[in-house]
Amino acid sequence: MKNKRRFAMVSVSVIVVALILEAGILKYVNDANAYRLSKVLLDRVVTVLNKND
The low-confidence residues of the chain, meaning pLDDT below 70, are none
pLDDT at 26: 98
Helices (H) and strands (E) in the chain, counts: 1, 0
pLDDT at 1: 75
Give first-to-last CA distance, the chain, whole Å.
78
Q: What is the pLDDT of residue 50?
A: 94
**Confidence (pTM):** 0.71
What pLDDT, on a 0 to 100 scale, did the predictor assign at position 53? 79
